[in-house]
Amino acid sequence: MATEVFAPAKVNLALHVTGQRADGYHLLDSLVVFADIADRVTVAASDRLTLEITGPEASSIAADDDNLVLQAARFFDPACTARITLEKNLPVASGIGGGSADAAATIKALARLYGAPLPQPYETASLGADVPACMMGRPLRLQGIGDVLSEIPALPALDILLVNSRVSLATPQVFAALASRRNSPLDRDLPQWDNPHDFCDWLAGTRNDLLEPAIELDPQIGIALELIRETDCLFAGMSGSGGTCFGLYPPNRGQAKAAQSYVQAKQSGWWCQSGKIS
Protein backbone atom coordinates (compact mmCIF):
# COMPACT_ATOMS: atom_id res chain seq x y z
CA MET A 1 0.00 0.00 0.00
CA ALA A 2 1.30 3.45 -0.89
CA THR A 3 1.74 6.26 1.62
CA GLU A 4 1.30 9.90 0.60
CA VAL A 5 2.58 13.04 2.36
CA PHE A 6 2.28 16.67 1.29
CA ALA A 7 5.37 18.88 1.13
CA PRO A 8 4.07 22.43 1.74
CA ALA A 9 5.78 25.60 0.58
CA LYS A 10 7.80 27.27 3.34
CA VAL A 11 7.37 31.05 3.35
CA ASN A 12 9.66 33.48 5.16
CA LEU A 13 7.31 36.31 6.10
CA ALA A 14 10.26 38.20 7.61
CA LEU A 15 13.98 37.51 7.28
CA HIS A 16 16.56 39.59 9.16
CA VAL A 17 20.24 38.86 8.54
CA THR A 18 21.90 39.55 11.89
CA GLY A 19 25.51 38.48 11.40
CA GLN A 20 27.98 36.09 9.81
CA ARG A 21 30.05 33.38 11.47
CA ALA A 22 33.74 32.83 10.85
CA ASP A 23 32.89 29.78 8.74
CA GLY A 24 30.83 31.94 6.37
CA TYR A 25 27.36 30.88 7.53
CA HIS A 26 24.94 33.77 7.97
CA LEU A 27 22.95 34.31 11.15
CA LEU A 28 19.24 34.83 10.65
CA ASP A 29 16.11 35.80 12.54
CA SER A 30 13.10 34.77 10.51
CA LEU A 31 9.38 34.17 10.84
CA VAL A 32 8.30 31.12 8.83
CA VAL A 33 4.89 29.76 7.90
CA PHE A 34 3.71 26.98 5.60
CA ALA A 35 1.15 27.21 2.81
CA ASP A 36 -1.25 24.54 1.60
CA ILE A 37 0.39 24.94 -1.81
CA ALA A 38 2.57 21.87 -1.98
CA ASP A 39 4.50 19.12 -3.65
CA ARG A 40 3.38 15.56 -2.94
CA VAL A 41 5.55 12.56 -2.05
CA THR A 42 4.19 9.02 -2.42
CA VAL A 43 6.15 5.96 -1.29
CA ALA A 44 5.47 2.27 -1.70
CA ALA A 45 7.37 -0.86 -0.72
CA SER A 46 9.87 -2.12 -3.27
CA ASP A 47 12.96 -4.29 -3.50
CA ARG A 48 15.07 -1.29 -4.59
CA LEU A 49 15.16 2.49 -4.25
CA THR A 50 13.67 4.40 -7.20
CA LEU A 51 12.40 7.92 -7.79
CA GLU A 52 9.90 9.07 -10.41
CA ILE A 53 9.15 12.78 -10.78
CA THR A 54 5.78 13.93 -12.14
CA GLY A 55 3.77 17.15 -12.02
CA PRO A 56 3.92 20.51 -13.78
CA GLU A 57 7.44 21.34 -12.52
CA ALA A 58 8.92 17.88 -13.17
CA SER A 59 11.14 19.05 -16.01
CA SER A 60 13.03 21.41 -13.70
CA ILE A 61 14.53 18.68 -11.52
CA ALA A 62 16.42 15.45 -12.12
CA ALA A 63 15.94 12.10 -10.38
CA ASP A 64 19.67 11.71 -9.75
CA ASP A 65 21.71 11.06 -6.62
CA ASP A 66 21.81 14.78 -5.80
CA ASN A 67 18.03 14.92 -5.50
CA LEU A 68 17.07 15.69 -1.91
CA VAL A 69 14.33 13.06 -1.98
CA LEU A 70 16.87 10.29 -2.57
CA GLN A 71 19.25 11.83 -0.06
CA ALA A 72 16.44 11.89 2.51
CA ALA A 73 15.60 8.25 1.80
CA ARG A 74 19.21 7.25 2.43
CA PHE A 75 19.28 9.42 5.54
CA PHE A 76 16.21 7.53 6.77
CA ASP A 77 17.94 4.21 6.05
CA PRO A 78 21.22 3.82 4.15
CA ALA A 79 19.81 0.57 2.76
CA CYS A 80 16.38 2.05 2.04
CA THR A 81 14.28 0.30 -0.61
CA ALA A 82 11.11 2.05 -1.76
CA ARG A 83 9.36 3.23 -4.88
CA ILE A 84 9.09 7.00 -4.48
CA THR A 85 7.05 9.36 -6.62
CA LEU A 86 7.51 13.11 -6.30
CA GLU A 87 4.70 15.23 -7.72
CA LYS A 88 6.55 18.51 -8.28
CA ASN A 89 4.22 21.50 -8.12
CA LEU A 90 6.55 24.12 -6.56
CA PRO A 91 9.19 25.86 -8.69
CA VAL A 92 12.81 25.09 -7.84
CA ALA A 93 15.35 27.61 -6.50
CA SER A 94 12.48 29.93 -5.62
CA GLY A 95 12.92 30.75 -1.93
CA ILE A 96 10.03 28.61 -0.65
CA GLY A 97 11.99 25.56 0.47
CA GLY A 98 10.60 23.08 -2.04
CA GLY A 99 13.57 20.71 -1.90
CA SER A 100 13.68 20.82 1.90
CA ALA A 101 9.93 20.23 2.10
CA ASP A 102 10.31 17.26 -0.26
CA ALA A 103 13.07 15.81 1.93
CA ALA A 104 10.98 16.18 5.09
CA ALA A 105 7.91 14.66 3.41
CA THR A 106 10.01 11.71 2.20
CA ILE A 107 11.21 10.95 5.73
CA LYS A 108 7.67 11.19 7.11
CA ALA A 109 6.26 8.97 4.36
CA LEU A 110 8.93 6.31 4.81
CA ALA A 111 8.45 6.31 8.58
CA ARG A 112 4.74 5.71 8.09
CA LEU A 113 5.31 3.05 5.44
CA TYR A 114 7.72 1.05 7.57
CA GLY A 115 6.30 1.87 11.02
CA ALA A 116 9.54 3.50 12.12
CA PRO A 117 9.94 6.45 14.51
CA LEU A 118 10.60 9.88 13.07
CA PRO A 119 14.01 11.43 13.73
CA GLN A 120 14.12 14.56 15.82
CA PRO A 121 13.91 17.62 13.55
CA TYR A 122 17.42 18.80 14.48
CA GLU A 123 18.85 15.46 13.36
CA THR A 124 17.83 16.20 9.76
CA ALA A 125 19.89 19.41 9.49
CA SER A 126 22.61 17.56 7.56
CA LEU A 127 20.15 17.45 4.62
CA GLY A 128 19.79 21.25 4.61
CA ALA A 129 19.23 24.14 6.99
CA ASP A 130 15.48 24.31 6.21
CA VAL A 131 14.73 20.62 6.64
CA PRO A 132 14.23 20.70 10.45
CA ALA A 133 11.62 23.45 10.11
CA CYS A 134 9.92 21.50 7.33
CA MET A 135 9.85 18.45 9.58
CA MET A 136 7.89 20.51 12.12
CA GLY A 137 5.67 22.09 9.45
CA ARG A 138 4.07 24.83 11.54
CA PRO A 139 4.67 28.56 12.14
CA LEU A 140 8.09 29.04 13.71
CA ARG A 141 10.80 31.52 14.50
CA LEU A 142 14.15 30.52 12.97
CA GLN A 143 17.35 31.90 14.45
CA GLY A 144 21.06 31.15 14.29
CA ILE A 145 21.87 29.50 10.96
CA GLY A 146 18.34 28.12 10.93
CA ASP A 147 19.11 25.60 13.65
CA VAL A 148 17.37 27.42 16.51
CA LEU A 149 13.62 26.86 16.19
CA SER A 150 11.05 28.25 18.58
CA GLU A 151 7.29 28.48 18.81
CA ILE A 152 5.55 31.78 18.10
CA PRO A 153 2.21 33.22 19.25
CA ALA A 154 -0.79 31.86 17.41
CA LEU A 155 -1.24 33.41 13.98
CA PRO A 156 -4.62 34.65 12.75
CA ALA A 157 -6.03 32.80 9.75
CA LEU A 158 -4.76 34.22 6.46
CA ASP A 159 -4.97 33.45 2.77
CA ILE A 160 -1.83 33.77 0.66
CA LEU A 161 -0.81 34.33 -2.93
CA LEU A 162 2.58 33.08 -4.16
CA VAL A 163 4.09 34.56 -7.34
CA ASN A 164 7.32 33.56 -9.08
CA SER A 165 8.62 35.05 -12.34
CA ARG A 166 10.50 31.81 -13.13
CA VAL A 167 13.94 33.38 -12.85
CA SER A 168 15.92 31.07 -10.55
CA LEU A 169 18.13 32.78 -7.98
CA ALA A 170 21.10 31.06 -6.33
CA THR A 171 21.05 31.77 -2.59
CA PRO A 172 24.86 32.26 -2.33
CA GLN A 173 24.68 34.84 -5.11
CA VAL A 174 22.01 36.82 -3.26
CA PHE A 175 23.93 36.73 0.02
CA ALA A 176 27.08 37.82 -1.83
CA ALA A 177 25.26 40.94 -3.02
CA LEU A 178 24.05 41.82 0.50
CA ALA A 179 25.43 45.21 1.59
CA SER A 180 25.17 44.69 5.37
CA ARG A 181 25.39 41.38 7.20
CA ARG A 182 24.90 42.75 10.71
CA ASN A 183 21.36 44.06 11.02
CA SER A 184 18.85 44.28 13.85
CA PRO A 185 16.87 41.13 14.76
CA LEU A 186 13.13 40.76 15.16
CA ASP A 187 11.59 41.89 18.44
CA ARG A 188 12.86 39.74 21.28
CA ASP A 189 9.29 39.07 22.44
CA LEU A 190 6.74 38.69 19.69
CA PRO A 191 3.28 40.14 20.38
CA GLN A 192 -0.09 38.46 20.39
CA TRP A 193 -1.91 39.13 17.12
CA ASP A 194 -5.67 39.37 17.46
CA ASN A 195 -6.60 39.52 13.77
CA PRO A 196 -5.09 39.57 10.26
CA HIS A 197 -4.84 43.37 10.19
CA ASP A 198 -2.94 43.49 13.50
CA PHE A 199 -0.53 40.86 12.28
CA CYS A 200 0.10 42.52 8.92
CA ASP A 201 0.55 45.91 10.58
CA TRP A 202 3.25 44.35 12.76
CA LEU A 203 4.76 42.58 9.76
CA ALA A 204 5.09 45.93 7.97
CA GLY A 205 7.70 46.87 10.59
CA THR A 206 9.87 43.86 9.77
CA ARG A 207 12.20 43.28 6.80
CA ASN A 208 13.59 40.81 4.35
CA ASP A 209 17.21 41.93 4.23
CA LEU A 210 17.73 39.90 1.04
CA LEU A 211 15.05 41.75 -0.92
CA GLU A 212 17.24 44.57 -2.22
CA PRO A 213 20.09 42.37 -3.49
CA ALA A 214 17.55 39.93 -4.98
CA ILE A 215 15.87 42.74 -6.93
CA GLU A 216 19.28 43.88 -8.17
CA LEU A 217 19.86 40.38 -9.55
CA ASP A 218 16.30 39.94 -10.84
CA PRO A 219 14.30 43.16 -11.35
CA GLN A 220 11.19 41.10 -12.06
CA ILE A 221 10.89 40.54 -8.30
CA GLY A 222 10.11 44.23 -7.97
CA ILE A 223 7.54 43.95 -10.74
CA ALA A 224 5.91 40.98 -8.99
CA LEU A 225 5.66 42.94 -5.74
CA GLU A 226 4.08 45.88 -7.57
CA LEU A 227 1.46 43.59 -9.11
CA ILE A 228 0.63 42.00 -5.76
CA ARG A 229 0.30 45.42 -4.15
CA GLU A 230 -2.20 46.38 -6.84
CA THR A 231 -4.53 43.74 -5.38
CA ASP A 232 -6.39 43.90 -2.04
CA CYS A 233 -3.50 42.41 -0.06
CA LEU A 234 -2.83 43.30 3.56
CA PHE A 235 0.92 42.84 3.11
CA ALA A 236 3.32 41.90 0.30
CA GLY A 237 6.88 40.64 0.56
CA MET A 238 9.49 38.23 -0.77
CA SER A 239 10.22 34.83 0.73
CA GLY A 240 13.74 33.71 1.56
CA SER A 241 16.39 34.69 -0.94
CA GLY A 242 13.80 34.97 -3.72
CA GLY A 243 12.43 35.11 -6.14
CA THR A 244 8.97 34.02 -4.93
CA CYS A 245 6.89 36.93 -3.67
CA PHE A 246 3.74 36.67 -1.57
CA GLY A 247 0.65 38.61 -0.66
CA LEU A 248 -1.41 38.08 2.49
CA TYR A 249 -5.21 38.44 2.50
CA PRO A 250 -8.14 38.12 4.91
CA PRO A 251 -9.27 34.49 5.06
CA ASN A 252 -12.12 32.91 3.13
CA ARG A 253 -13.15 35.99 1.16
CA GLY A 254 -11.84 34.92 -2.22
CA GLN A 255 -9.44 37.87 -2.44
CA ALA A 256 -6.33 35.72 -2.81
CA LYS A 257 -7.96 33.74 -5.61
CA ALA A 258 -9.03 36.97 -7.32
CA ALA A 259 -5.48 38.29 -6.95
CA GLN A 260 -4.16 35.12 -8.57
CA SER A 261 -6.41 35.71 -11.58
CA TYR A 262 -5.27 39.35 -11.75
CA VAL A 263 -1.56 38.48 -11.73
CA GLN A 264 -2.01 35.63 -14.22
CA ALA A 265 -3.82 37.99 -16.60
CA LYS A 266 -0.85 40.36 -16.43
CA GLN A 267 1.91 37.72 -16.53
CA SER A 268 0.59 34.49 -18.03
CA GLY A 269 4.02 32.81 -18.05
CA TRP A 270 4.66 33.24 -14.34
CA TRP A 271 4.00 30.64 -11.64
CA CYS A 272 1.16 31.86 -9.46
CA GLN A 273 -0.87 29.98 -6.83
CA SER A 274 -3.21 30.94 -3.99
CA GLY A 275 -4.09 29.10 -0.79
CA LYS A 276 -3.99 29.32 2.99
CA ILE A 277 -1.18 29.53 5.50
CA SER A 278 -0.71 27.53 8.67
In tens digits, the chain (278 residues) has pLDDT values of 899 999 999 999 999 999 999 998 899 999 999 999 999 999 999 999 999 999 999 999 999 999 999 999 999 999 999 999 999 999 998 999 999 999 999 999 999 999 999 999 999 999 999 999 999 999 999 999 988 999 999 999 999 999 999 988 888 999 999 999 999 999 999 999 999 999 999 999 999 999 999 999 999 999 999 999 999 999 999 999 999 999 999 999 999 999 999 999 999 999 999 999 97
Annotated active-site residue in 29, 39, 130, 218: 130
- Indicate the helix (H) or strand (E) that contains 197: helix 196-203
Strands 159-164 and 82-87: unpaired
* Residue 54, Ramachandran bin (φ over 0: left; ψ between -120 and 50: alpha; else beta): beta
Give the pLDDT confidence score for residue 158 in this predicted structure. Answer: 98
Q: Check if 77 is active-site.
A: no
Cα Rg, the chain, nearest whole Å: 18
* Residue 166, Ramachandran bin (φ over 0: left; ψ between -120 and 50: alpha; else beta): left
CATH number of 3-144: 3.30.230.10
Q: Can the peptide bond before residue 146 be classed as cis, meaning omega within 30 degrees of 0?
A: no
Annotated active-site residue in 10, 29, 39, 108: 10
* Residue 100, Ramachandran bin (φ over 0: left; ψ between -120 and 50: alpha; else beta): alpha
CATH (one of 3.30.70.890, 3.30.70.20, 1.10.40.30, 3.40.50.300) for 153-276:
3.30.70.890
Residues 6+ apart with CB under 8 A from 9: 34, 35, 37, 38, 90, 96, 97, 98, 101, 162, 244
- Indicate the helix (H) or strand (E) that contains 78: none
DSSP state of 277: B
Residues 6+ apart with CB under 8 A from 75: 103, 107, 124, 126, 127
What are the structural domain ranges in the chain? 3-144, 153-276
Give the pLDDT confidence score for residue 181 in this predicted structure. Answer: 92
Q: How far apart are CA 137 and CA 8, in angstroms?
A: 8
Give the pLDDT confidence score for residue 191 in this predicted structure. Answer: 96
Q: What angle do CA 175, 96, 127 make, to 5 degrees?
A: 80
- Indicate the helix (H) or strand (E) that contains 138: none
Q: What are phi and psi of 264, to 5 degrees?
A: -65, -35
List, in sequence order, every residue forming a beta bridge with 238; answer none if it has no partner: 245
